[in-house]
Each structure stands twice: as structure tokens, then as C-alpha cells.
Structure 1
């Protein structure tokens, strides 16, 4: 430990003036650096990401309040990634989403990645 301390503090570096680093906007056109339109990249364009957020509960008046803010993420031809509105009816069954019958209190939130050929949930 003494040796490490000696090496560290024996010749402390001289403070240097720092120059501001210019900010550079990266991917301002929202596209990837490569073209993924070829058949070799079908697997990338087939990736689907579901951000599932679903909630339901019965209020004091007996009304069923449901909230579904599910989104679907996917890649475009140029590698651009985007989120679009979706709903729990479009979520694959393998996600584990299982909305109960009636209006029991239920909250489900997850991120699920799958190919587009996966079967949809039965809701």
C-alpha cells in the first residue's frame, strides 16, 4: 500500500486548462449507418418489441376502469427504430399476459421481444 501511495502522490499531474468539447449531433436523420433492406437482414426487420402496460380495477361505483398503453417497437428498412401504439389484443400469447375475466384488480407491465410469427394472446 505504501508503494501505491508513493507512486500516486509522488509527482501529481499538473492541472491543465480544458477546452470545451463541441457537441456533435449523432444520427440526426434517425437512420442507421448501413442499409438493412437486403434479405440477409430480414431477421432484424422481423424483431418486435412489445412494451406492455395494462391495468384494470373496479371503482367505487362498480365501473370497470381499464388502461392500456401498450407500444410496439420495430426496425425499418434503414435500421431506424420506432415505437407505435398497440394494444394487449396484439400481444403474443408467450408474453405471459393473462387478463382475468370480469374486472378483478390486475396490473401487468413488461417488455417482450419476439418474432412477428408468434401466436397472439387470447383476450
Structure 2
């Protein structure tokens, strides 16, 4: 289920485990939508973080790579390039948080609109001419 992303990140905001869970949940939702259109490689998601868990550069790389895979078919207007080379001690800022949330929202809006336009199997789609 899609969770409304936070798009108003500022330098005074704090990023925590709930925020990463939301980003990964939403990335998983988009992956399900993209799966209607193309076959995807196996992607992994972590959506059960708690305050006892610390994420490292490899987690950020996985999240960014997942979004990059989902972007391969279409790059929506407003997309900001992913950072695919997180290393230990790289700083994570509000701009990174905003990028993650905005990018996945752009993909969601694109694919959600297209998935809703797919006719159901067995449905008759025809004109309404008067006989």
C-alpha cells in the first residue's frame, strides 16, 4: 500500500528508520506496478526497520539502485539522478531525502496512471454507436 511521501525535507528535519521504511515500501509498490509492463530483475526491499537498526552505505546503494532499475523504462520530468556510489561516512542530507521521495513519487504517478488504463482481460471495449 502506497504511503504518502514527505516532499518538504529541510535542513532542520531529522531522518529516521520510518522514513527509510516509507521509501522502500513505496519503491516496492512501484516495482509491482512496473511489473505489469516489463519483467524486472529480482529486487530486495527492507521495510521493517526499527530504532535498533542502523543502515549503512550498502543499504542506500541498494535503495538507489532499485529506483534506478525502475526508472529504466521511463525517466519522468523532474527526475533527479540517483547517487549510486554511497561509501562509509558519506553525509546524507535533506536533499538526498527529498530526492529519494520525489523520484519514487514521480514513478508512482506515471505507472499508476498507466496501470489504471489497462483494460481488464475479457472486457469488451467498443464504441457506442446507435443502431
Task: Give the shorter-chain TM-score range.
Answer: under 0.3
TM-score normalized with structure 2 length: 0.22
TM-score by length of 1: 0.23
Higher relative contact order (CA 8 A, sep 6+): 2
- Kindly indicate which of the two structures has a greater share of residues assigned to helix: 2
Higher Cα Rg, which structure:
1
